[in-house]
Chain A
Amino acid sequence: MTPALEISHLKKRFGGLPATRDVSLTVMPGERRLIIGPNGAGKTTLFNLVTGDLTPDEGSVKLFGREMLKLPTQQRVHLGLARTYQILTLFPKETLLHNVVLALLGLDRSRWNPWAYLAGQRRLYDAARAALVQVGLGEIAERVVGETSYGERRRLEMAMALAQKPKVLLLDEPLAGLSQEERKQVRDVLNAVPRDVTIVMIEHDMDSALAFAERITLLHYGEVIVEGTRAEVVADPRTKEVYLGE
């Protein structure tokens, strides 16, 4: 079977500082993969290399067997890649609904239409509303992002990514900064994502993340230290050494 995401020998240096050294990673379709590692291990850098925000020095990134390194970010998105950000990047003056509509427009031909009335596009708005309902924000769809809580914005990030019906979804710390109650809501959303979506997640909250992930990759100083099933990685002494701090 062709892997959903295949990263091989990826390298990236910032000046003299190697952020990613020779990372190889294979994620199969439908898999839930967790990437862990201490601060500065190069987790977000890895995501930025996959999405095209950064250009690697060497290596290859394949989405369902297709090399993506030469493609600009937006084309990778059209091939089925989506991500959420650790630091929220939303459109704060717009409504939640409009935020999701912008996400849907990104993959819709009508985004080049300079004549149609956007607010009259039922198809887009219905799909956007459905995505918001999916993450439990249906009630406040008309609210402006600036007037929502942090937890609601996190879920909006998820709604924007899920609305695009991606094949591979990259989640950068989706639980960061959330209360216990909000964590549960996000976990429920994640658990409900169908299996035709492959999920790669960076997360620090080990309790939630461990329960969710099937395979775990441990990054340290830009290298893959340990990789395996949940049980294998947790049991590995190197995990305890660099991450669990025991």
Chain B
Amino acid sequence: MTRRLVALVLVAAALLAVPLVITNEFYLNLASQILIYGLLAVSLNLLVGYGGMVSLGHASFIGLTSYTAVLLLNAGFDQLTTALVAVAFSTLCGALFGVLALRASGIGFLMITLALGQIVWGIAYRANNLTGGDNGIRFAARPQPFGVDISSAPHFYYFTLIVFAVALFFIWRLVRSPFGAALQGARDQPRRMRMLGHNVWLIQWLAFVLSAFWGSVAGLLYVYYNLFISPHAISLQQSAETLLMAILGGASTLTGPIVGAIIITLVKNVVSTYIDRWNSLLGAIFVIVIMFMPFGIVPGLRQLWVRWRRRAKTERAV
């Protein structure tokens, strides 16, 4: 327990020190992006890893939040109202999506979330006078929470870090809460859970809504960061990448999706300047990881660590 606490303090210190070490604005912005996609992947993982519900429509919450935020701000609302209503509206859409998607499970669930994501994308793409269509639409300016200017890269990084930490704390609490246990039980033995008195549908729907909520928060950060939203940001490719982050890093863990987000964001943004075929590289990484660590990087490394310690112990005994 204390060792974990030490690790937590070290990681927090490292994250706080990032803007001091990385002074290059491009890389600092990359760190902010990683936090945003990390939050998106962690929120999706509530469904995928803890709920056993694989969704291919999670990027739609970026779109729903971002477009709502743009439209509200352009209509003259203040930043706080804009942020709250945008997240609330997107979460509400998530609640409706949940009702529709939970008509099915497994592949059926996946296909419905895919279809819903495509509908959101289609509306963004087609509703020209509302969304600017393929050209996208601009978000006027970042807010100034409590009067603090977050337009510079380091300030925005700290702002994102705070939101990310708060979100992660709530999700961490949820995972080890009674509700979290019920969610994981519903994933493993839905029929048995019903026979134990659990309302499996409601558990899964609430998980869907919570996942949509934190996904929407990530969406808000997205539009603050980019000050722009277009259909490309919410395409099927984005949903699939988010799912890939969760699976690559390890869907059975809280931190796995963050590791996945780090790798995929770095490959997309850094490696792509050196290699044209960065998509192939991403594919290769995915195949290799899954071959050697079928449950993802974080569980795989944990296993290695346990094995290595056991070997060290037996050697000492000899």
Contacts and interface: CB of A to CB of B under 8 A. Distances in A.
A145 to B, nearest CB: 11
Contacts of B181: 98, 101-102, 105, 118
A65 B199 CA distance: 24
Interface stretch (A69-77, A181-189, A224-232): A69-77
B109 to A, nearest CB: 20
A74 B185 CA distance: 14
A101 B198 CA distance: 12
B266 interface: no
B17 to A, nearest CB: 30
B178 A91 contact: no
A208 interface: no
A78 interface: yes
B193 A114 contact: no
A113 B194 contact: no
| Most chain A beta-carbon contacts within 10 A, residue among B174, B194, B196, B200 | B196
Interface residues of A, number: 36
Interface residues of B, number: 24
Nearest to A83: B195
A105 B198 contact: yes
Given A91-B185, A114-B177, A160 B196 contact: yes
A98 B188 CA distance: 13
B188 A91 contact: yes
A53 B173 contact: no
Contact of A89 (B173, B191, B198, B206): B191
Contact of B198 (A98, A111, A114, A160): A111
B24 interface: no
Interface of A: 51-53, 72-74, 77-78, 82-83, 85, 89-91, 93, 98, 101-103, 105-108, 110-119, 121, 160, 164
